[in-house]
Structure 1
Amino acid sequence: MIYGGVDFAPYFDKTELISLLGELVKRRSESSEGREYETAVFSENYMREMGLETRLQETQDNRPNVIGTWKGTQSDKALLFNGHLDVVPVEPSQWQSPPYQMTEREGRLYGRGTADMKGGIAAALYAVKVLQKAGVRLKGDLKFVFTVDEELLNIGVKKVMEDPKGLKADWCIVGEPTGLDIAIGCRGLLVIDVEFEGVSCHAAQEQLGQNAVYMALPFMEEIRKLNEAYKRDPHPILGPATVNVTVIRGGDKENVIPDRCLVRLDRRLIPGSGKERALADVQEILSRLNLEAKVTSSAFLNYAETPAGDPLVKTLKRHIEAVGRSPEITDFKASCEAPWFQDDLGLTTLTFGPGLIAQAHTVDEFVDIGELVDAAKVYITLCMDLLGYES
Structure 2
Amino acid sequence: MGSQFKSFTEKLLSFRTESGNEQPAQRWIRNQLDAVGFETYEWTADPELLANHPSFPSDPATIETADRPSVAGVVEFGDPDEGQTIVLNGHVDVVPAEEAQWDTDPFTPTWDGEKLIARGAADMKAGLSACLFAAKELAAQNTDSDELNGRLVVESVVGEEEGGIGAAMAALSNPYPFERDAAIVAEPTELELVTAVEGSVMLRLELEGKSAHAATRWRGESVLPHFERIRTALRELETERSLTVTHPLYERFETPWPISVGTVQAGSWASSVPATLTAEIRVGVAPGETVTEVESAVRDRIDAVVDGDDWLEAHPPSLERFSVQFEPASVSHDEPIVRHLQAGMEQNGLADTAPKGATYGADSRHYQAASIPTVLFGPGSIDNAHFPNESIQWDAVEQSKDVLVDTLAAILGEDTPTNTARTSHEPEGSRSKN
Q: Is TM-score (shorter-chain normalized) higher than 0.5? A: yes
DSSP 3-state at the match of 1:181: coil
Indicate if the aligned counterparts of 1:115 and 1:355 stay in contact, CA closer than 8 A: yes
Over residues 134-165 of structure 1, what are the superposed CA-to-partner deviations in whole Å (9 max), with x where a residue is unaligned? 23564112113211122345333343344322
Could you tell me which residue of structure 2 aligns to residue 221 of structure 1? 232
Deviating more after overlay: 145-154 vs 39-48: 145-154
DSSP 3-state at the match of 1:237: helix
Provide the identity percentage. 25
TM-score normalised by L of structure 2 = 0.79
- Aligned equivalents of 1:272, 1:129: Cα separation in 2: 37
1:161-180 to structure 2, matched below 5 A, reads 161-166=171-176, 168-180=179-191
Could you tell me which residue of structure 1 aligns to residue 247 of structure 2? 235
Indicate if the aligned counterparts of 1:191 and 1:264 stay in contact, CA closer than 8 A: yes
1:27-176 to structure 2, matched below 5 A, reads 27-31=15-19, 34-59=20-45, 60-72=65-77, 73-76=79-82, 77-92=84-99, 94-136=101-143, 138-166=148-176, 168-176=179-187
For the pair 1:368 / 2:393, whether they are aligned, the reply is yes
- Aligned equivalents of 1:242, 1:111: Cα separation in 2: 29
1:215-294 to structure 2, matched below 5 A, reads 215-233=226-244, 234-238=246-250, 239=253, 240-289=256-305, 290=307, 291=312, 292-294=316-318
Could you tell me which residue of structure 2 aligns to residue 26 of structure 1? 14
* RMSD between superposed Cα atoms in Å: 2.5
The answer to which structure has the higher strand fraction is: 1
Code of the residue aligned with 1:187 in structure 2: it is E
Structure 1 position 272, deviation (Å): 4.3
Code of the residue aligned with 2:361 in structure 1: it is S
- Aligned equivalents of 2:358, 2:393: Cα separation in 1: 19
Structure 2 unpaired stretches of 5+: 46-64, 416-434
- Aligned equivalents of 1:330, 1:185: Cα separation in 2: 7
Could you tell me which residue of structure 1 aligns to residue 59 of structure 2? none
Number of residue pairs matched by the alignment: 375
Could you tell me which residue of structure 1 aligns to residue 61 of structure 2? none
Structure 1 position 297, deviation (Å): 1.4
Structure 1 position 372, deviation (Å): 1.4
Q: For the structure 1 residues 157 and 173, does the alpha-carbon distance in structure 2 shift closer, same or farther, using more than 3 Å as the test?
A: same
Indicate if the aligned counterparts of 2:197 and 2:287 stay in contact, CA closer than 8 A: no
Indicate if the aligned counterparts of 1:119 and 1:372 stay in contact, CA closer than 8 A: yes
Structure 1 position 23, deviation (Å): 2.1
Code of the residue aligned with 1:307 in structure 2: it is S
- Aligned equivalents of 1:388, 1:221: Cα separation in 2: 56
Q: For the structure 1 residues 287 and 26, does the alpha-carbon distance in structure 2 shift closer, same or farther, using more than 3 Å as the test?
A: closer
Over residues 63-83 of structure 1, what are the superposed CA-to-partner deviations in whole Å (9 max), with x where a residue is unaligned? 211122223423242111110
- Aligned equivalents of 1:179, 1:189: Cα separation in 2: 22
Which consecutive segments of 4 or more residues in structure 1 shift more than 4 A? 91-98, 201-209
1:340 corresponds, among 366, 369, 379, to 366
Structure 1 position 130, deviation (Å): 1.5
Structure 1 position 94, deviation (Å): 4.8
For the pair 1:305 / 2:330, whether they are aligned, the reply is yes
Structure 1 position 217, deviation (Å): 2.4
Code of the residue aligned with 2:131 in structure 1: it is A
Deviating more after overlay: 122-131 vs 257-266: 257-266
Indicate if the aligned counterparts of 2:289 and 2:328 stay in contact, CA closer than 8 A: no
Structure 1 position 49, deviation (Å): 2.0
- Aligned equivalents of 1:46, 1:156: Cα separation in 2: 19
Structure 1 position 47, deviation (Å): 1.5
Structure 1 position 311, deviation (Å): 3.5
Could you tell me which residue of structure 2 aligns to residue 324 of structure 1? 349
Structure 1 unpaired stretches of 5+: 1-12
TM-score normalised by L of structure 1 = 0.87
